Every structure is written in structure tokens, then in C-alpha cells.
Structure 1
């Protein structure tokens, strides 16, 4: 049996696989440059005592939310190194907001640029890494912190135009 069989896949159906079945970074050279914005979210659920320690800035490791914000920004800028076939992007803005909610922290991120491809992965990566950083900084006092509901909230720009999540 020949182990080097040619695999033929219809390229119009799979954007990250070429016609020989090999992974392929999408060619965006013919796309239009537009302003692209993406918003994403994540939630970190924890004990009320842990949440209060964050509010009081009472962690030996430092200000949890400041460190999480920096980590999220850094992660967004490195998304192309983390996610296969992501384009490296010259981001013009990354914003990370934290909101205290009943049993945790709601993270909302915004990524923006003028480019030929979207910034959804950068916004999602920023939310994910900010959440993981909160977990890391608080794990010594709360072993059961939960990260959940990582998702895209909104995107605009490019061929698909404007899109917003209508349910949560």
C-alpha cells in the first residue's frame, strides 16, 4: 500500500487546507483593507472571599486586574504565535475591561485595526489569557476558580460586515 497517496480536497469548502490536503494559511492579498473591530468576553467565577480580595487589592502577587490586563494585551499581540495559520496583525487598539458581577469577574475585550483580515482571534485570545491570569494570581486562595463563557460578542468590517451576538 502506498503511504504517499494524493489527497484531493475541494478548496472552495476548506479555507485552511490546500487541494492536496495540507494545512494552508489563507491568502488575504486580494481582500480590501477596512477598519475591523471585534469584541469578546470571558467570565471568571470564584468564591466571594476571593472576589473581595481582588477588590481590596489584597494579593501578595500584586494587583490582579492590572496584571491580567497587561497579560491580555500582550497575548492579543502574540495571537499569530499561538494559533496556527493566524496572520500577524498590526493592531491599533486592544482594550480590556473588567466588571465585578455576582460571583466573579466579567472580562470584555476589544481589538481594532485597519487590515485585510479580522481581529476576532485577537479579542478572544485577550479575553482567554486575561481570565487565565486571574486564575493564576488567585489559585493559592481558591482552588476551584472556573473560567467560562469565552465567546465572540461582536465584529465588524470586511465582507461579512457587522455581526453581533443576540443571545448570552
Structure 2
């Protein structure tokens, strides 16, 4: 993406209500991204005036090209990492199966997150990085539509890592059938972008 294409990019919440001023406010927070103390004007757009949950109406918004990247990792034993690298896991190809699970999760996010819109997914990219103590998964999702795709990216990451866990759980269990060293963590949205449909690629 060129510098010209970046001119209209903005961070936007999935409900489509974030503005440039909200982005500026986020950049000034020192509490790790949470709402600032005393921010009584923060609007919860998925809740109506009576407190009932609602899907946000995005029908009047113009279509934009949108892209979100999320990442997470699953910590595993050294022997399990070795088995993944040598394709020696009894259930089969761990990463190929997890990749399918991640893509399927992206496409079905609207069915599992109650207030998400069903959006047209134009591309999903999954990148697995097998490290010494963990498998890191990065999922990139692209769409052209009226609302963002960060929830789809997050769903892809969490489901993909869950599939890894399922594929290797026999190797990760201890003598009592527990998982003392297996854990999923570090799940985060790395970037979220949008630009006008009429911008040149």
C-alpha cells in the first residue's frame, strides 16, 4: 500500500461509529487503550436508550476497502513443537488443518458474534510461525463493505489456535490428563485499515 493510499485510512470500531477525533483520543490514552477515567460521554452503539442490545445500522455508510490483521500464539512443549515441524503428529498435518479452521471461522464470524454483520470476505491470509516454545498465527482479512473486519481476523486467530490445540492435545497432556504448560495468549489486533473504493490500487 502506497503513502497515497494511506491518506484516508482510519481506525474504526466494528460498529462503524469511530471518528478521527476518537482515534486522536485513543492515541492519548495511557491506560493501555481502555476508556479514559471519567469518560462519561463514551457511546455504546450496540445498546439502545433502554439498555437493550442492538445491531448497528450501517446501511447509509459508503462501501470502503477494509483490512484487519490479528495475531496470537499457543505455547507448547518442545517435543510437540518438534512433532509439528516433522509432521509427526498422530492426528495429521497440524498447520494445514488449523489453516482450514481459521478460514472457516473468518467466514462464519457473523454466526458466532451476535451483533456482527455478515460481510463479504474478499481475502483471508494465514501465516504460521513455528517457534521454539510456541506457534504464532497471524490472520489477515480483507473485505469491501460498510463495516470493519477485525472481529473476523480475531475469530480466525482464536479458532486456528484452538485447532492446533485439538490436534496436539494427546501429546500435551500430562500423566493426569491435564495441560499444565499449554496456553493460548497474546491475541491482539495489530492493524485495522480502510480506504475509499474509488482509490487506485
Q: Deviations over 1:20-58 (max 9, x none)?
A: 221100000121211000000011111110000001111
Q: Under a length normalisation based on structure 2, what TM-score does the superposition of the two structures give?
A: 0.71
CA contact (8 A) 1:38 1:123 kept: yes
Q: Under a length normalisation based on structure 1, what TM-score does the superposition of the two structures give?
A: 0.85
Secondary structure in structure 1 of the residue aligned to 2:171:
coil
Q: Map of 1:102-117 to 2, 5 A cutoff?
A: 102-117=132-147
**1:102, distance to aligned residue in structure 2 (A):** 2.5
Moved over 2 A (4+): none
Cα distance change, pair 33–152 in 1 and its aligned pair in 2 (3 A): same
Structure 1 alignment gaps of length 5 or more: 1-10, 160-168
- Counterpart Cα distance in 2 of 1:80 and 1:31: 19
CA contact (8 A) 1:42 1:147 kept: yes
CA contact (8 A) 1:118 1:158 kept: no
RMSD: 1.8
Aligned match of 2:191: 154
**1:152, distance to aligned residue in structure 2 (A):** 0.3
Give the count of matched residue pairs. 150
Q: Deviations over 1:65-89 (max 9, x none)?
A: 0000000000000001111100011
Structure 2 alignment gaps of length 5 or more: 1-40, 174-178, 197-201
- Counterpart Cα distance in 2 of 1:101 and 1:59: 16
- Counterpart Cα distance in 2 of 1:35 and 1:119: 10
